[in-house]
Amino acid sequence: MTPQSPNQPRDNYQTQPPNFFLCYTPLQLTPGQPTTVTKMSKQLSSVLDTTLSLIGQFQTALTTLPTGAAEAAKDAEALSLLTASSSALKAHVTKLSLLAITSPFTYSAVGTVLRELNESVLPSLVTAALLVTPAQYTKAFHSEVLLLVKTSLTELSALVREVKLVGEKKDQEKKDTGKESSVTKSEKDAVTLATGRVWDSCDATIDVANKGVVGFVMRRVEQWRDLVRDAVEEIEDWDPEEEDDGFFDDVLSDDGKGGDDKGEDDDEDDEEETAALQEHKKSTLRFLKPIAQAYPAIINNRLKNAGNTPLASSSGVKKLESLMLNLQAIPGDVDEAAGALYEANFETSAQYLRKTRKWATQAVELVASPWGSADVKDDAPADKFATWSKTWLKVIDEVSKSIEKN
């Protein structure tokens, strides 16, 4: 057929259809013969089921970790693989969601995206997670990565199920009417929301992988620092004199004026208790101030610019692990000490403060020397934190004297 000239009237198309229209013969089907769409929908259904099955198997693999994984991961670039595979997952679910909510529903294109997920993206993601071993990346970071990747798989499974529902509906419509309707708002919303949740989990995984182990530890330490600061501020704002305003004594007395006979004795007791609470509040705050100061000192001098130095040796990894455990234990004991103080249970409060001292002292002593200090030259300038830690330990000894009396 000769191409139409740009200046030729388009009416010719209305009276003389192109040859391929004239040659078109409707497909004649014998009863029971499957259409191309039906065959394709069955293939897609099989791929969808394979994806869901793989996700389940990968979830199991991440829950029941194989022994000896640490040896296999020795020289692997686990975090770069984790970033790349998470980015690929995000890109693929974006394609998948657009294909699912765009009419007509393209079975072959959806199947292609799912096969790429099954054959490349998901195996890479799970491999990266398995390569992040406790021995090389700390137990806490290892657990965080496993949790994030399992969350990504769970959210992906939800999205695949939504896509499967859309595909099954389209398939049924074509069987019943020979055509498909547009995706409904509720279907589009379900796919979009499921896609957003996969994006969120991928972004969280990429963020953790990019920051690395030390960045992850630093963020956790900052969270514990904030908890300790909040507890200290709460104690500062607490006024022992407001604890007993005599309201219930007035209400329970016969004349509503309280007991006059014991009024003076009660007032003296209240004054003594208030004075004791004030004194213990003062000593508690004096003790907790240097405890709270340990967090920013460690963050700024031992974590912020450490890079991957703490991970260079197994001893460095263990030290990082111990540092986290000690700093993590402090906020809970501070809360317990404050709660006991509010109830005038001074002995219990002192017990928790002594535990707090133990955790904080161990944390500071762990990193008193720089990471890899064995490699530091003799003529190197004095380490700022090492000097600070000696002064800090003396201060803790001094402020602990009032605690030891309880």
CATH of the domain at 80: 1.20.1420.10
Same domain as 251, residue 400? yes
CATH number of the structural domain spanning residue 249: 1.20.140
CA distance 287 to 283: 6
- Residue 310, pLDDT score: 94
Same domain as 133, residue 90? yes
On the CB side of 148, CA atoms within 13 Å amount to: 26
Mean pLDDT value across residues 351-379 = 87
Three-class secondary structure of residue 368 per DSSP: coil
Q: Kindly state whether residue 6 falls inside one of the protein's structural domains.
A: no
Q: Which of 147-156, 237-246, 250-259 has the lowest mean pLDDT?
A: 250-259
Is the pLDDT score of 6 beyond 60?
no
Q: What band does 92 get if pLDDT is binned at 50, 70 and 90? A: very high
CA distance 371 to 399: 29
Q: What is the CA radius of gyration of the chain?
A: 34
Q: Kindly state whether residue 23 falls inside one of the protein's structural domains.
A: no
Same domain as 288, residue 242? yes
Which amino acid type is present at position 331? P
Mean pLDDT value across residues 192-200 = 98
Q: Name the packing angle between helices 122-131 and 36-63 (round to 10°).
A: 0
Three-class secondary structure of residue 405 per DSSP: coil
The two structure tokens encoding residue 56: 């389940």
pTM, rounded to two decimals: 0.81
Three-class secondary structure of residue 48 per DSSP: helix
Same domain as 251, residue 177? no
CA distance 385 to 392: 10
Which amino acid type is present at position 283? S
Same domain as 172, residue 50? yes
CA distance 194 to 164: 13
Is the pLDDT score of 14 beyond 60?
no
Q: Kindly state whether residue 348 falls inside one of the protein's structural domains.
A: yes
Same domain as 385, residue 287? yes
Give residue for tokens 């693989």.
81
Q: Kindly state whether residue 20 falls inside one of the protein's structural domains.
A: no
Q: Kindly state whether residue 226 falls inside one of the protein's structural domains.
A: no
Give residue-wise pLDDT tens across range 298-318.
999 999 999 999 999 999 999
Please give the mean pLDDT across all residues of the chain: 84
Per the structure, the count of domains in the chain is: 2
CA distance 386 to 371: 11
Q: What band does 273 get if pLDDT is binned at 50, 70 and 90? A: confident
Q: How far is CA 97 from the centre of its chain?
A: 24
Is the pLDDT score of 111 beyond 80?
yes
Determine phi and psi for 374, rounding to 5 degrees. Answer: -65, -20
Is the pLDDT score of 175 beyond 60?
yes
Domain of residue 156 covers 34-211
Same domain as 398, residue 299? yes
Query: Going by C-beta distance under 8 Å and a sequence separation of 6 or more, which residues neighbour residue 308?
Result: 212, 213, 214
- Residue 181, pLDDT score: 82
CA distance 54 to 32: 33
CA distance 7 to 12: 12
CA distance 41 to 38: 5
Same domain as 245, residue 388? yes
Same domain as 186, residue 315? no
Q: Kindly state whether residue 119 falls inside one of the protein's structural domains.
A: yes
> b vs e for 248-272, b when ≥16 Cβ sit within 10 Å of the residue's Cβ?
eeeeeeeeeebeeeeeeeeeeeeee
Q: Kindly state whether residue 221 falls inside one of the protein's structural domains.
A: no
Q: Kindly state whether residue 28 falls inside one of the protein's structural domains.
A: no
Same domain as 138, residue 202? yes
The two structure tokens encoding residue 171: 């398939």
Is the pLDDT score of 264 beyond 70?
no
Same domain as 247, residue 180? no
Q: Which of 6-15, 149-158, 228-237, 339-348 has the lowest mean pLDDT?
A: 6-15
Q: What band does 406 get if pLDDT is binned at 50, 70 and 90? A: low
Is the pLDDT score of 257 beyond 60?
no
Contact 293, 385 (CB under 8 A): no
Determine phi and psi for 69, rounding to 5 degrees. Answer: -65, -30
Same domain as 247, residue 163? no
